[in-house]
């Protein structure tokens, strides 16, 4: 039975991982540590907390004494580390929080794990520190370049990706220097339930429902590799179960879309859901579909993000060949599931919209 500390478990991917663990590991116990920044939402964990297998602690990963106490008190053997400042645009306007949480916070967690698992417990072997990272650490790919493998050079270009790169290096160093049992996964862009509505897909869904513009950076040709969030969780589970300590694994959907094409497909998905469910036109009277138009009418081009990476793409061969990983949700199916979730869970996202 695993006893997990899930940091950032009130954020988008973290909360999906909490639900995935409850389903996949019937005996697991979970402590969620989350500072509840603007991106964290305790209400997302309501169903998990009902299970009595999950405890929520509001706190900062930078607080080494708190993390040490949690590891000791709950006899935890696994850390799955999601907590981060994660929005590239915010890292451009305010990089300090990214250094504090992503670099210094990750280092505090590593120090606590080392103290409890290697020093106090005198080389307690059955522990794991799994670090969640991003494909953005590898920098930008040319249109015809092969996708990122685990051995690509790190070339981070934004304060966000630089802070994640630094945290990846610290995790690696704690394995090589102190023998901490670490694994790292570098994943491509996720989408799905509980995604904060400032990110591209939920922003477009909620803006379409309210008849607001769909902002596309630059020429809309920046390419990202999209993965349904539950498929990311499956990958993390496989790494915890079978991954080799000290290794890193790329996780991705091999599903590249440029932003403009993605928003067009999302608009078509929304239009077709509205034509199947006419009651939605009454409920969302400001949406273009309520007025006989397509949601594509809302697409607007805006000034490009500073230093915007052109293309990311993940080569997931290693996790596929070594751990049998295979994403199960195709993109069109995943978009429908995501739109349906936002339609069914307005109480979750309406309060998060900018006033
Ligand atoms: P998110 O912004 O939705 O959630 C982050 C969570 O961390 C929030 O609940 C927040 O309250 C919490 N947090 C922030 N600072 C904290 C601190 N100092 N102490 C404790 N908790 C803190 O992020 P996400 O999209 O769920 O991403 C989770 C992880 O996955 C991040 O490490 C991110 O770099 C990585 N990642 C994200 C994507 C993606 O597409 N979203 C892709 C690849 C990797």
Catalytic residue list = 135-136, 160
Which residue lies with its CA nearest to atom 25 of ligand 1? Answer: 12
135: in domain: yes
62 Cβ closer than 6 Å to some ligand 1 atom: yes
DSSP character for 148? B
174: in domain: yes
Q: Which atom of ligand 1 is nearest to the CA of 60?
A: 19
Measured in degrees and rounded to the nearest 5, phi and psi for residue 248 equal -120, 150
Q: Which domain holds residue 102?
A: 3-196+227-256+312-328
190 Cβ closer than 6 Å to some ligand 1 atom: yes
| Three-class SS state of 124 | coil
Contacts of 317 (CB under 8 A, 6+ apart): 149
The pair of structure tokens assigned to 315 is 């080569």
60: in domain: yes
Please give the pLDDT value at position 1. Answer: 59
Q: Which atom of ligand 1 is nearest to the CA of 164?
A: 34
* The pLDDT of residue 51 is above 70: yes
Helix boundaries (H) for 243-351: 259-276, 279-283, 317-323, 331-344, 346-349
79 Cβ closer than 6 Å to some ligand 1 atom: no
88: in domain: yes
pLDDT digits (tens, 9 = 90+) for 233-286: 999 999 999 999 999 999 999 999 999 999 999 999 999 999 999 999 999 999
Go through 27-59 and write b for each residue having 16 or more CB atoms within 10 A of its CB, e for each that does not: ebbbbbbbbebebbbeebbeebeeeebbebeeb
Contacts of 88 (CB under 8 A, 6+ apart): 136, 158, 160, 161, 305
141: in domain: yes
51: in domain: yes
Q: What is the CATH number of the domain that holds 160?
A: 3.40.50.720
Does residue 29 contact residue 53 with C-beta atoms inside 8 Å? yes
% pLDDT > 90, the chain: 96
300: in domain: no
Measured in degrees and rounded to the nearest 5, phi and psi for residue 166 equal -60, -40
pLDDT digits (tens, 9 = 90+) for 93-144: 999 999 999 999 999 999 999 999 999 988 788 999 999 999 999 999 999 9
Domain total for the chain?
1
CA–centroid distance, 184 to ligand 1, in Å, is: 15
35 Cβ closer than 6 Å to some ligand 1 atom: yes
Which residue lies with its CA nearest to atom 35 of ligand 1? Answer: 133
| Three-class SS state of 113 | helix
CA–CA distance, 59 with 40 (Å, rounded to integer): 12
CA–CA distance, 144 with 249 (Å, rounded to integer): 23
Please give the pLDDT value at position 124. Answer: 83
9 Cβ closer than 6 Å to some ligand 1 atom: no
CA–CA distance, 287 with 339 (Å, rounded to integer): 14
């Amino acid at each position: 039975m695993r006893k997990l500390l899930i940091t950032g478990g009130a954020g988008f991917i973290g909360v999906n991982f909490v639900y995935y663990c409850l389903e996949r590991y019937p005996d697991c116990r979970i402590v969620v540590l989350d500072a509840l920044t603007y991106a964290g939402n305790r209400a997302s964990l309501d169903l998990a907390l009902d299970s009595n297998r999950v405890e929520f602690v509001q706190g900062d990963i930078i607080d080494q004494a708190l993390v040490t106490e949690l590891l000791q008190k709950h006899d935890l053997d696994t850390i799955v580390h999601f907590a981060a400042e994660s929005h590239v645009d915010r890292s451009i306007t305010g990089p300090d929080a990214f250094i504090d949480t992503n670099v210094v916070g990750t280092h505090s967690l590593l120090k606590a794990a080392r103290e409890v698992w290697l020093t106090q417990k005198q080389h307690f072997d059955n522990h794991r520190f799994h670090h969640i990272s991003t494909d953005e650490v590898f920098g930008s790919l040319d249109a015809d370049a092969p996708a990122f493998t685990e051995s690509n050079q790190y070339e981070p270009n934004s304060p966000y990706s630089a802070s994640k790169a630094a945290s990846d290096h610290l995790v690696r160093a704690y394995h090589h220097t102190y023998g901490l049992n670490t694994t790292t996964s570098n994943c491509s862009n996720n989408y799905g339930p509980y995604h904060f509505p400032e990110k591209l897909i939920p922003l477009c869904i909620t803006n379409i429902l309210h008849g607001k513009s769909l902002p596309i950076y630059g020429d809309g040709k920046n390419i990202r590799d999209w993965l349904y969030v539950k498929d990311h969780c499956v990958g993390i589970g496989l790494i915890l179960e079978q991954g080799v300590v000290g290794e890193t694994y790329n996780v991705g959907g091999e599903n590249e879309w440029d932003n403009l094409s993605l928003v067009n497909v999302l608009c078509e998905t929304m239009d077709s859901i509205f034509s199947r469910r006419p009651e939605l036109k009454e409920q969302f009277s400001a949406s273009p579909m309520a007025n006989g138009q397509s949601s594509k009418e809302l697409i607007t081009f805006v000034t490009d993000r500073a230093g915007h990476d052109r293309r990311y793409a993940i080569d997931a061969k290693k996790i596929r060949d070594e751990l049998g990983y295979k994403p199960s949700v195709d993109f069109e199916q995943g978009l429908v599931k995501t739109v349906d979730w936002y339609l069914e869970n307005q109480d979750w996202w309406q309060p998060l919209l900018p006033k």
